[in-house]
């Protein structure tokens, strides 16, 4: 089998395509292992679909399924385009619904699924939270200092609310984000749907406009745009390498 590793804003993925739609959770655990495998935050498998360009199967590094992954959609779209599986403007099916992506060289923009507010603001553990589904559920809290990020607290909140956990700082109209991700069970360098959730929260509070630059822990710059009720997520992706494993 031939596998390609991609990085999208620090989120890394192993990607391949297959004609066989099945459960690849064990392959995800093996391939995403950082000491005995290729090493990645997730595995993406592209399989044929009769209506759309393709369907993706997404797995976290622990083998669990995820309906959506913003950075994953951008890496996946670039892979599909460069491997002749789709044109530069494509539609593909995810567990969260149909995603539209546009590829222009190494820049990929994804139209995310419509966000759904799951819980309006509430107080817990000394922070004000808000839960929104931007493809998967995300807890968001706005802080003045990103050093307020607390791994143990994030883990506790993640299991209590079954959601990813985001700490966001707004400065000079820009959004800075740190995210604890389900499935990885730790902080990642970037989370696309998490950045989208933080941008949406900041926008709803009037802290940023309908277009804003967003920076995850990797410090790579991304652009989030809100048009009506639709979010668009744009940034660079990098093909790291392709390898064959017997």
What pLDDT sits at residue 183?
A: 84
Architecture of domain 116-228: Roll (3.10)
Residue 246 has pLDDT above 80, yes or no: no
Distances (CA, A) of 186 to 46, 154, 155, 165, 205: 26, 9, 8, 10, 28
Q: Which of 32, 76, 191, 198 is catalytic?
A: 191
CATH superfamily of 2-112+235-244: Diaminopimelate Epimerase; Chain A, domain 1 (3.10.310.10)
Residue 198 annotated as catalytic: no
Q: What are the structural domain ranges in the chain?
A: 2-112+235-244, 116-228
pLDDT confidence bin for 17, thresholds 50/70/90? very high
pLDDT tens readout for residues 187-211: 999 999 999 999 999 999 999 999 9
pLDDT in tens, 50-71: 999 999 999 999 999 988 888 9
Active-site option among 32, 69, 76, 198:
69
The DSSP element (H or E) to which 154 belongs, if any, is helix 151-161
The whole-number pLDDT of residue 184 equals 87
Q: Which residues are annotated as a binding site?
A: 11, 60, 70-71, 164, 181-182, 192-193
* Burial letters 4-41, b for 16+ CB under 10 A, else e: bbbbbbbbbbbbbbeeeeeebbebbbbbbeeeebbebb
Global pTM value: 0.86
Query: What pLDDT shows up at residue 15?
Result: 98
If you average pLDDT over residues 105-109, what whole number do you get? 97
Compute how many other C-beta atoms are within 10 angstroms of the C-beta atom of residue 245: 10
Is 116-228 in the same CATH topology as 2-112+235-244?
yes
Residue positions forming the annotated binding site for substrate: 11, 60, 70-71, 164, 181-182, 192-193
pLDDT grade for 229, boundaries at 50, 70 and 90: confident
Half-sphere exposure at residue 28, Cβ-oriented, CA atoms within 13 angstroms: 23
Tell me the pairing of strands 11-17 and 42-47: parallel
């Amino acid at each position: 089998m031939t596998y390609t590793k991609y990085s999208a804003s620090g989120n890394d993925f192993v990607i391949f395509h297959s004609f066989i739609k099945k459960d690849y959770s064990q392959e995800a655990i093996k391939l995403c292992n950082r000491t005995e495998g290729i090493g990645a935050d997730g595995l993406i498998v592209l399989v044929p679909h009769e209506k759309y360009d393709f369907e993706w199967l997404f797995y976290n590094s622990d083998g669990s399924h995820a309906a959506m992954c913003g950075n994953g959609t951008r890496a996946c779209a670039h892979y599909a385009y460069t491997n002749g599986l789709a044109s530069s403007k494509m539609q593909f099916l995810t567990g969260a619904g149909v995603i539209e992506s546009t590829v222009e060289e190494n820049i990929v923009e994804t139209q995310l699924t419509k966000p759904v507010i799951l819980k309006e603001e509430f107080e817990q553990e000394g922070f004000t939270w808000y839960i929104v589904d931007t493809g998967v559920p995300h807890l968001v809290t706005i802080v003045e200092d990103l050093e307020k990020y607390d791994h143990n607290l994030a883990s506790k909140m993640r299991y209590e609310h079954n959601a990813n956990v985001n700490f966001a700082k707004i400065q000079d109209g820009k959004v800075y984000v740190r995210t604890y991700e389900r499935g990885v069970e730790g902080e990642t360098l970037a989370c696309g749907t998490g950045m989208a959730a933080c941008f949406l929260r900041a926008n709803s509070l009037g802290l940023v406009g309908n277009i804003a630059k967003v920076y995850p822990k990797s410090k790579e710059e991304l652009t989030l745009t809100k048009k009506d009720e639709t979010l668009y997520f744009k940034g660079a992706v990098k093909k790291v390498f392709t390898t064959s494993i017997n």
